[in-house]
């Protein structure tokens, strides 16, 4: 048998040249013959010897691609057991069972030494060509399989690296770099969950007393160390609560409480804990703080920003009353509450009175070509003057006015869009609009009835809107994309998107929040987040729009980072519909070249 194998794999002298000559004669002189494989064959008389040879090959790295195994090899283990042991050592080797008997069925051998796609059979007596062709095919396949395996391992490593980078970016985006405590973004998310819950809770804002004096006398390094020490005390004292550093010497806390008395008692304990003497770099520093507090009953306040604002008002009152105390918010502290109620009443009539208008801010590519405009709403009230959107949009969101207001914005934006030569318009939709039960049909109907192509209408939504109900959001966005609408994820980086969820959603564009663009030149973390979002968008085939570009340095940094689109005051402030049309027809924000006109003439 072994002599037969030697004859099968032997290549006579001049064999390769003869085959080349035959190929040239048959196919022409310019057709090269494919070089024949040369096999290095090892022969083992018994199964145990073969198993040992495979084990040694794995140790040295000189692995076998194919093993031809006879079923009967007395004395010792038979072919089935030999195949089983070899497979246990090397999962990649191709096994060829060569037999003239039927001691075992192919199924039995396959179960012992599978998988089935790596085990083959040749019946005795065999032809030399049959063995040679089998060895050639399986050797090629073995090489391809190993290359594929290496590629898969490389992809897995890249996947793990990407997941680790994503995890680091999320941590950086939601944690304070000095204390590693949750930051303002993380706190707003936790506060948002608390206001939706069914339990009474307190929000407290703590500000250190005379902290500036520490920085001025001992230096900022000492101030940073004091902040870390205070943060550790707060986290230790509130193990059942949530502690975040909002910035500077200001901390915010969420505490589950039974009522106002319980909340005040726990905050007074916190004041006592931080009102101690700290040893900072060998210096003794007397600590102290003031706390503003609001207790929120279930369903009482639906806006987390409003809760934070009221706690901040209470903190200001504590400072005004001499510091080192706890003050609970009450309505008398907030004159703006009455103003908000007046705004709500005026907003309901603003549309009918023609007090609302849209302005449009250009969105430009790297070469400053205008690809689209973001529609932004303005309200000029005869009674209150210019009312900021940040004030009246949340008021509209808390009531059903947001739907009426949103419909007006869609219709107005589409009407202006019709006059542009080809740019798209981007319209913001609030979480409450997105949760509308017939959202898709509503948008499609208004755009279709106006005769506008869906591809020129971009729907901007925030992470908060889509991650309230991931499954529903994925279905809605998929339907809108199928119909041709553009989808942008606004304020990306400030929420809690995971890479998995971003891939699930049908998105055209990621918009980097202006806070990260603003911090690029000052904070390494902001620059890292901006670069990560740009690379993520490019990897997923999405546009990336950087918002809030206000300096030439920011524009240049974003271009170098590979950002595809930008918008901001440095490029253009929001403009009226008439000026937007002029810009759209011009098509670019790049300065026009100046030409000198030369001529001849005489001077009199």
User: For 434-488, how does the pLDDT look when each residue is reduced to its tens digit (9 = 90+)?
Assistant: 988 889 999 999 999 999 999 999 999 987 777 767 788 889 999 999 999 999 9
Q: Is 307 a domain residue?
A: yes
Q: What span, in angstroms and rounded, lies between the C-alpha atoms of 447 and 462?
A: 21
pLDDT averaged over the chain? 86
Beta-carbon-side half-sphere exposure of residue 293 (alpha carbons within 13 Å): 24
Which of residues 145 and 10 earns the better pLDDT score? 145
Q: Is 591 a domain residue?
A: no
For residue 27, name the pLDDT band (cuts at 50, 70, 90).
Answer: low
Q: Is 166 a domain residue?
A: no
pLDDT at residue 603 in the model: 38
Residues 401 and 537 in one domain: yes
Residues 194 and 81 in one domain: no
Average pLDDT over residues 307-313: 92
Beta-carbon-side half-sphere exposure of residue 193 (alpha carbons within 13 Å): 11
- DSSP label at 547? -
Residues 369 and 485 in one domain: yes
Closest CA to 477 of 452, 432, 443: 443
Helices (H), 450-523: 463-467, 470-482, 499-504, 514-519
Closest CA to 193 of 467, 462, 392: 467
Residues contacting residue 377 through CB under 8 Å, at least 6 positions apart: 356, 357, 358, 389, 393, 405, 409
pLDDT at residue 104 in the model: 66
Residues 191 and 283 in one domain: yes
pLDDT at residue 560 in the model: 92
CATH of the domain at 287: 3.30.70.270
The last residue of one of the domains, among 278, 308, 334, is 334
Q: Is 152 a domain residue?
A: no
Alpha-carbon torsion 415, 416, 418, 419, what sign? Answer: positive
Residues 423 and 498 in one domain: yes
Tokens of 368: 């400053």
561-583: pLDDT as tens digits: 999 999 999 999 999 999 999 99
Helix (H, G, I), strand (E, B) or coil at 544: strand
Average pLDDT over residues 523-532: 87
In this structure, what is the dihedral angle of CA atoms 221, 223, 225, 227, given to the nearest 10 degrees?
Answer: -150
Residues 497 and 575 in one domain: yes
Average pLDDT over residues 191-200: 92
Which of residues 250 and 108 earns the better pLDDT score? 250
pLDDT at residue 598 in the model: 44
For residue 599, name the pLDDT band (cuts at 50, 70, 90).
Answer: very low
Q: How many domains does the chain have?
A: 3
pLDDT at residue 463 in the model: 79
- Residue 30 burial (10 A CB sphere; 0-12, 13-18, 19+): exposed
Q: Is 258 a domain residue?
A: yes
Residues 307 and 366 in one domain: no
Q: Is 167 a domain residue?
A: no
CATH of the domain at 435: 3.20.20.450
Say yes or no to pLDDT of 19 above 60.
no
Domain that holds residue 81: 2-145
pLDDT at residue 500 in the model: 60
pLDDT at residue 25 in the model: 60
pLDDT at residue 178 in the model: 92
154-190: pLDDT as tens digits: 888 888 888 888 888 888 889 999 999 999 999 999 9
Percent of the chain residues past pLDDT 90, beyond the cut: 49
Percent of the chain residues past pLDDT 70, beyond the cut: 90
Say yes or no to pLDDT of 136 above 50.
yes
Q: What span, in angstroms and rounded, lies between the C-alpha atoms of 209 and 553?
A: 37
Say yes or no to pLDDT of 493 above 70.
no
Residues 130 and 256 in one domain: no
Residues 279 and 201 in one domain: yes
Burial 421-445 (b: 16+ CB within 10 A, else e): eebbbbbbbbbbbbebeebbebbbe
pLDDT at residue 17 in the model: 56
For residue 294, name the pLDDT band (cuts at 50, 70, 90).
Answer: very high
The alpha carbon of residue 562 and the mean position of all alpha carbons in its chain are separated, in whole angstroms, by 17
Give the range among 194-203, 245-254, 352-361, 484-493 with minimum mean pLDDT: 484-493
What is the value of pTM for the model shown? 0.50
350-362: pLDDT as tens digits: 888 889 999 999 9
Tokens of 196: 């939706």
Tokens of 396: 């509209």
Give the range among 23-37, 140-154, 167-181 with minimum mean pLDDT: 23-37
Average pLDDT over residues 284-295: 93
Other Cβ atoms less than 10 A from the Cβ of 230: the count is 23
61-88: pLDDT as tens digits: 899 999 999 887 778 888 888 989 998 9
Q: Is 268 a domain residue?
A: yes
CATH of the domain at 77: 3.40.50.2300
Residues 12 and 99 in one domain: yes
The last residue of one of the domains, among 90, 116, 145, is 145
Other Cβ atoms less than 10 A from the Cβ of 39: the count is 16
Which of residues 501 and 77 earns the better pLDDT score? 77
pLDDT at residue 243 in the model: 96
Q: What span, in angstroms and rounded, lies between the C-alpha atoms of 241 and 253?
A: 7
Which DSSP string corresponds to 103-156? Answer: SS-HHHHHHHH--GGGEEEEESS--HHHHHHHHHHHHHHHHHHHHHHHHHHHHH
pLDDT at residue 329 in the model: 93
Say yes or no to pLDDT of 427 above 50.
yes
Residues 447 and 475 in one domain: yes
**Strand order through the sheet with 289-296:** 242-247, 250-256, 201-208, 289-296, 326-328
Q: Which residue reads 């929040």 in tokens?
A: 513
Partners of 121 in beta bridges: 97
Say yes or no to pLDDT of 232 above 80.
yes
Q: Is 153 a domain residue?
A: no
Residues 398 and 306 in one domain: no
Helix axes 401-417, 439-449, angle to 10 degrees: 30
pLDDT at residue 495 in the model: 56
């Amino acid at each position: 048998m072994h002599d037969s194998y030697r004859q099968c794999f032997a290549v006579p002298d001049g064999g390769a040249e003869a085959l080349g000559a035959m190929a040239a004669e048959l196919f022409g002189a310019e057709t090269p013959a494919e070089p024949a494989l040369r096999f290095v064959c090892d022969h083992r008389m018994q199964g145990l010897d073969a198993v040992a040879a495979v084990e040694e090959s794995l140790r040295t790295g000189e692995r076998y691609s194919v093993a031809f195994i006879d079923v009967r090899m007395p004395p010792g283990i038979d072919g089935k057991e030999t195949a089983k042991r070899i497979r246990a050592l090397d999962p990649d080797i191709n096994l060829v069972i060569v037999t003239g008997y039927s001691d075992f069925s192919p199924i039995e051998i396959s179960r012992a030494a599978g998988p089935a796609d790596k085990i083959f059979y040749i019946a005795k007596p065999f032809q030399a060509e049959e063995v040679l062709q089998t060895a050639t095919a399986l050797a090629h396949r073995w090489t391809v399989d190993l290359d594929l395996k290496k590629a898969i391992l490389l992809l897995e490593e890249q996947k793990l690296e990407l997941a680790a980078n994503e995890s680091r970016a999320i941590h950086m985006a939601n944690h304070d770099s000095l204390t590693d405590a949750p930051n303002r973004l993380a706190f707003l998310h936790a506060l948002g969950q608390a206001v939706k819950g069914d339990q009474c809770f307190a929000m407290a804002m703590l500000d250190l007393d005379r902290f500036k004096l520490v920085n001025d006398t001992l230096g900022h390094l000492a101030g940073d160390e004091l902040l870390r020490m205070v943060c550790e005390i707060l986290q230790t004292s509130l193990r059942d609560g949530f502690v975040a550093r909002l910035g500077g010497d200001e901390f915010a806390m969420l505490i589950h409480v039974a009522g106002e008395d319980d909340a005040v008692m726990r905050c007074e304990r916190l004041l006592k804990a931080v009102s101690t003497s700290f040893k900072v770099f060998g210096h003794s520093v007397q600590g102290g703080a003031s706390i503003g507090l609001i207790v929120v009953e279930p369903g009482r306040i639906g806006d987390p920003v409003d809760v934070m604002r009221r706690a901040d008002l209470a903190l200001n009152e504590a400072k005004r009353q001499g510091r080192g105390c706890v003050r609970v918010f009450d309505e008398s502290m907030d004159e703006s509450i009455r103003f908000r109620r007046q705004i709500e009443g005026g907003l309901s009539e603003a549309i009918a009175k023609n007090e609302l208008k849209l302005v449009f801010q250009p969105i430009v590519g790297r070469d400053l070509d205008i690809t689209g405009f973001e529609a932004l709403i303005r309200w000029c009230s005869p009674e209150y003057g210019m009312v900021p959107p940040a004030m009246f949009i949340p008021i509209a969101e808390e009531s059903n006015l947001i739907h009426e207001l949103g419909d007006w914005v869609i219709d107005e934006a589409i009407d202006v869009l019709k006059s542009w030569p080809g740019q798209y318009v981007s319209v913001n939709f609030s979480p409450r609009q997105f949760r509308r039960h017939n959202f898709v049909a509503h948008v499609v109907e208004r755009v279709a009835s106006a005769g506008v192509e869906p591809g020129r209408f971009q729907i901007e939504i925030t992470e908060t809107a889509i991650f309230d109900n991931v499954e529903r959001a994925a279905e809605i966005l998929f339907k809108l994309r199928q119909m041709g609408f553009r989808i942008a994820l606004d304020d990306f980086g400030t929420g809690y998107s995971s890479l998995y969820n971003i891939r699930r959603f049908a998105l055209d564009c990621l918009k980097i929040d202006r806070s990260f663009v603003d911090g690029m030149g000052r904070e390494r973390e902001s620059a890292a987040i901006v670069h990560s979002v740009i690379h993520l968008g490019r990897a997923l085939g999405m546009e990336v729009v950087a918002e809030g570009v206000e300096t030439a340095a920011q524009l240049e940094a974003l271009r170098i980072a590979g950002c595809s689109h930008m918008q901001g005051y440095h490029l253009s402030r929001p403009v009226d519909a008439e000026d937007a049309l002029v810009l759209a027809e011009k098509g670019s924000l790049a300065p026009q070249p100046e030409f000198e006109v030369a001529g001849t003439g005489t001077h009199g």
